Amino acid sequence: MTRHKDDGAGRALQVRPSYDVGYGKPPKDTRFKPGQSGNPRGRPKGAKNKHASLSEERLQNIILEEAYRTITVRDGDRSVSVPMAQAVIRSLAVNAAKGQHRAQRLFSELLSAVESSRRDLQVRFFETAVEYKVEWERELARRQALGVTDLPPPLPHPDHVVVDVRSGSVRIVGPATREEKAIWDEVFREKEMLEDCIAQLRSANETATDPAEIQDNLKFIEMGERKLADLNRVWRG
């Protein structure tokens, strides 16, 4: 039923039909229309996933902190400090050695998984090293054939990547970074200067007649050879 009332100026105001308004019954003008979303913009893309990701990251950090937290354990007659993860594995290994079947099974599975992972990593590293060595040897041969001399050599140099096919091992016997290359070059320059000085002293002793001079030269040669041995150890890594 429609009601009217005076607005004080002789005009009649139309009032909407009455209806209940209260808890759970908002005014009709503010209610959602059929088929209309209450959140037209929707949830920001990835908002929930981002929150879950942050939670997972925090949990991972907590787990890692606990795994490598240092604790004190008994090792025979003495106490030693070891990471929590090491203490757990040690306890598992001890129980396996005592004949506990469940511990034996868990330790065997864990050991097998670690060894398999290391083998896979070694194989991938070996294959990557061989590919690196072959590709750079091919590139350096191309540069030499074309007379290209203005390009820097690779680090590490393929000659410094030593692969052992029989053992599947890889060794880097030269610099692998610019910083190491700078040190390597300095050692090389000092090594060359020292070798030249030793050669000159030996040559001088071949014609020297003064015993004191000969002894001094021999002393400096010995000192130079000791220093050269130290540089060679650095040079060979």
Which H, E and C letters describe 198-222, residue by residue? HHHHHHHHHHCCCHHHHHHHHHHHH
pLDDT of residue 35: 60
pLDDT of residue 45: 58
Domain residue spans of the chain = 120-174, 178-236
pLDDT of residue 99: 93
Residue ranges in the chain modelled with pLDDT below 70 = 1-54, 234-237
Cα–Cα dist 142/131, whole Å? 17
pLDDT of residue 91: 92
DSSP 91: H
pLDDT of residue 38: 58
pLDDT of residue 31: 61
pLDDT of residue 33: 63
Q: 159: closest CA among 132, 133, 185, 135?
A: 133
Please name the amino acid found at residue 124: R
**Long-range pairs of 129-136 with CB within 8 A, sequence gap ≥ 24:** 129/161, 129/163, 129/170, 130/163, 132/158, 132/161, 133/158, 133/161, 133/163, 134/158
pLDDT of residue 74: 85
pLDDT of residue 6: 52
Instruction: Read off the pLDDT of residues 61-78 as tens digits, 9 standing for 90 and up.
Output: 999 999 999 999 888 889
Parallel, antiparallel or unpaired: strands 169-172 and 161-164? antiparallel
pTM of the model: 0.53
pLDDT of residue 18: 52
pLDDT of residue 37: 58
Q: CA angle at residue 168 from 163 to 170, to 5 degrees?
A: 40
Cα–Cα dist 67/86, whole Å? 8
